[in-house]
Chain A
Amino acid sequence: MTTTPTAPATTPAGRVRAVLRSPILLSVLGALLIGAVMLLGAGGNPFEAYAAMVEGAFGPTQWRNTLIVAVPVVGMALAVAVPLRAGVVNLGGEGQIVLGGITAAVVAAGVDLPAPLSLVVALGAGTLAGALLGALPAVLENRLGVPLLVSSLLISYPVVALASYLVRFPLRDPGTGLPQSRVFDEAYRMPVFAGIGLSALILVVVIALVVQVDSRTPFGYEVRLTGHNRRFTEYAGVAVPRMVTRLMATGGGIAGLIGAMVVTSVPYRFIDGALVVPAYTWTGLLAALLARANPLGAVAAGVFFAALQVGGFGMERETEVPRELSSILQATVIVILAATVAATARRARTRKDAA
């Protein structure tokens, strides 16, 4: 066993060094650099393009758009990060967000309630539905040994199809030819305060709760250690299967809440594919992976990816650089991250072998 001589992360200097050496910063900078080279190769000006991207994401009127995209992306990043903290990969986000959305839509279409209560019920029902759908693969794994990774992904397809059916037939708005529900009643519309939707505020509360539980409670401690080494916590007497069910229910619940909040925001209706086509789930998954399941990191990465996407539109308008560059940057970040993490692990292994 050799001691790796890095400065302890407790001293300020050590912390700065740790951040500078962190694979996350390296991959973001590397992606921006590769993007710049590609822009140069295509005859563009990288400085202009990146400036337009920043302007497009955080400009005086643009930040609201970024916020609107950031809420589902950050939410879905948490939906993945919460179970991933214990090493459990939730690939069922798509089904969970859609089920949450369609459940809220069914409540809005079918239940007549006064204003604040209506939203509480709609969001609550969406959250509950997402939580149950999230917990299902965990129960299947614990009881029957069905791999959670696979079942969480596969369960999503029938759920998305069911929502699609509901919105094309029973819930369909007969006034349009599109597969979408009627516009909800006033009581089922999320209010907006000074450009900031209630959704964003609720999400902030959720983030705060997740961070508190993660960093301050015995449960959060067990989850983190399980992520480091599941055999260890099992050996120490932690009931890991029950923990996995809880984490998947929490992740699914967050996804369901996000789905419910998206459909009860502008344009106040469930549109088939509106929760799937923007790939909130997969962007969120990338954000959670980039942050290595750290909740606050996942939030930051989610905002970053949302800003990349929204800023890409601004860049396309201003500089004629196609916004596909955003997707390229996003993918490059992940590729570099995966490569550095693998390289670091390999170096550590060879060093250990030789000593």
Chain B
Amino acid sequence: MTRPKAEPAGPTGPAGQPAGPPRVAMAGIAKRFGDVVANDAADLELAAGEIHALVGENGAGKSTLMSVLYGLLAPDEGEIRVDGQPVRFRSPVDAVEAGMGMVHQAFRLFPSMTVAENVVYRAETRGTAGLLDRRAAVRAVQDLSERYGLRVDPQARVRSLSVGVLQRVEILKALHRDAQVLILDEPTAVLTPQETRLLFDVLRGLRDAGRTVVIVTHKLGEVLELSDRVTVLRDGRTVARLVTAETTGAEIARHMTGRAVDLDGHHVPGTPGAPVLHVEGLTVGPPSGRPVVDDVSLSVRAGEIVGIAGVAGNGQVELLEAIAGLRPARDGSVRVGATLLDGYSAGRRREAGIAYIPEDRAATGSAVAASVADNLAIGFHRRQPLRKGWRLDRGAVREHARRIIEHFDIKVSSPSVPAGTLSGGNLQKLVVGREMAHDAPVLLVDQPTRGVDIGAIENIHARLRAYRDAGHAVLLASAELSELMALADRLLVMFGGRVVADLARADATEENVGLAMAGLATREVAS
């Protein structure tokens, strides 16, 4: 430990203006990668004892700015001051020395070692003969975890911990290095609502103890609930610095996108007709052993969006893949209308009327090295009008691509550029557009707006509602509760491969759903 312990909250209030120099001041930061400008005159000021939200759309330069602050990237221009002193970080080691701490989105822990060992790694207390003092490590972790309410068993193996606890370990790691500035990158992306609440309590405690917390996020609800001040980045520049108590979600969103945005995403109920998709006792998994999808039955009606909530990894992906024919089912059956799909390949299921927007648009939903036109043609390429006799008509392929690009408002210079050059939101629109263009009676949707910016979210949500209103059945899995609330007419909750709750729209409160996601609810039957 090289720095003195944290002083209690100094002359600054939670949302107040700092008295002395700010704890961290980044001014005029510019960072380019080749011709791509990631940061261009980005400013950020962090006070002691505040929770500061850094927001912006994807590609706005948030991660680059934080990488500069944590010494992972050297800025091309600009200055960083810590407590008024100019600093230059050549590596994260320098940054940690200056009191920075980072909790990455992907945790960097040793699974086979204990919590205590992970926390003290590279900042160990040495005992006799320079050996690791395990007891001191455990004590250090206990102290920290009591002081800040980060409940963790120091002796537990990291391998056996849940995601929420892993995150606590990462925070402990940073605190053990006496981080005065704690940077959290999308900290709630993998948490249940209950875990999120716990995390927020911890962060508030850290703030009240005089530390600085930076959350990098694009979730406005969290920004408003948690932060004291907000810095908004757009196109690599700082476009707004706001005091949270004096602003609104709409204002922040306007700064992020540069235009007015409709945020509320009110649920507009659909008018369901006859059931179209029937799933009966579907079970997926190895022939012996625990199934990943366990005896799931559900049905979706025409003109209805059925949402599937659940913490990632509870069988949602496998359920949708099994319905789409990409994963063999061990038991159970799937019907579309009167057609029984058992034993059908993915191709035949598509012919029978299933379209699918997969979770991972780049790994599954597209071939990023192929052109946009080629990516849009698949599934249409063996039928008129793209196919003429034995040939694939290139003109028709381009025409088909232009129609979808125009109709779904995909921003791309030409259908012949590689799909990988599109931004995340536009690539997602490409996948959504292609799958909706099939006009299939059943649409399976997995995480339709993960990692896309607000403009694209609005667009995709409106499309999904329109697709439902055209009389199609939509089965939608999402990790974003707000997304399900905005879209779903009925809500299923999956836990441990089972559907543990089946809630009518009116009964689907955040509390009910959250409890079910954590596996704490018995099955309720929708009215």
Task: Judge whether B365 and A235 touch: CB under 8 Å.
Answer: yes
A182 at the interface (CB under 8 A from B): no
CB distance from A352 to the nearest CB of B (A): 9
**Min C-beta distance of B368 to chain A, whole Å:** 7
Binary CB contact string for chain A from 326 to 355 against chain B (1 if under 8 A, 0 otherwise): 000000000000000000000000010011
User: Could you give 15 example pairs across A and B, Cβ below 8 Å?
Assistant: A2-B38, A3-B421, A8-B416, A218-B392, A221-B392, A224-B370, A228-B367, A228-B370, A234-B326, A235-B364, A236-B346, A237-B348, A354-B63, A354-B72, A355-B64
Which parts of B327-349 form the interface with A (CB within 8 Å)? 345-349
Q: How far is the CA of A229 from the CA of B365 in the complex (A)?
A: 10
Query: Across the interface, do B33 and A239 meet the contact criterion of CB distance under 8 Å?
Result: no
Q: Does B350 contact A (CB under 8 A)?
A: yes
Residues of the A chain whose Cβ atoms lie less than 8 Å from the Cβ of B35: 5
- The reply to whether B347 and A237 contact each other, CB–CB distance below 8 Å, is yes
B408 interface hit (Cβ, 8 Å):
no
Tell me if B257 counts as interface (CB < 8 A to partner A): no
Q: Which residues of A contact B38 (CB under 8 A)?
A: 2, 354-355
> Nearest chain-A residue to B397 (Cβ)?
A221
A1 at the interface (CB under 8 A from B): yes
Chain A stretch 310-336: residues in CB contact (< 8 A) with chain B: none
Q: How far is the CA of A8 from the CA of B391 in the complex (A)?
A: 26
Contact of A235 among B346, B369, B423, B427 (CB under 8 A): B346
With both chains docked as a complex, state the minimum distance between the C-beta of A246 and any C-beta of chain B, in angstroms.
15
Check A225 for interface membership: any CB of B closer than 8 A. Answer: yes
User: Do B366 and A3 have beta carbons less than 8 Å apart?
Assistant: no
A146 → B minimal CB distance (Å): 19
Which residues between 191 and 224 of chain A lie within 8 Å of chain B, taking CB atoms?
A: 216-218, 220-222, 224
With both chains docked as a complex, state the minimum distance between the C-beta of B306 and any C-beta of chain A, in angstroms. 22
User: What is the CA–CA distance of A102 and B374 in the complex, to the nearest angstrom?
Assistant: 42
A2-B59, A351-B33 given. 9 additional CB < 8 A pairs? A10-B414, A225-B367, A228-B369, A229-B366, A229-B369, A231-B363, A232-B364, A234-B326, A354-B72
Residues of B with C-beta under 8 A to A224: 370, 374
How many residues in B have their beta carbons less than 8 Å from beta carbons of A?
51
> A40 vs B37: C-alpha distance in the bound complex, in angstroms?
45
Residue-wise interface mask of B (411-443) relative to A, using a CB-CB cutoff of 8 A (1 in contact, 0 not): 001101100011110010000000000000000
Out of A4, A217, A221, which one reaches B421, CB within 8 Å? Answer: A4
- Mask: chain B, 370-399; 1 = CB below 8 Å from A; 0 = not: 100010011101100011001110000000
**A1-B422, A216-B392 in contact; A354/B378 too (CB < 8 A)?**
no
B429 → A minimal CB distance (Å)? 13
Residues of chain B with a CB closer than 8 A to A9's CB: 416
Q: Does B58 contact A (CB under 8 A)?
A: yes
The interface centre, meaning the residue of A1, A3, A216, A239 with most chain B CB atoms within 10 A of its CB, is A1
Q: Are B59 and A355 in contact (CB under 8 A)?
A: yes
User: Contact between A10 and B346 (Cβ–Cβ < 8 Å)?
Assistant: no
Whether a CB of chain B sits under 8 angstroms from the CB of A233 is: yes
How far does the Cβ of B106 sit from chain A's closest Cβ, in whole Å? 11
Shortest C-beta distance, B390 to chain A (Å), equals 6
Assess the B347–A1 pair: CB atoms within 8 A: no
Q: Which residues of A contact B392 (CB under 8 A)?
A: 216-218, 220-221
A238 at the interface (CB under 8 A from B): yes
CB of A235 within 8 A of CB of B414, answer no
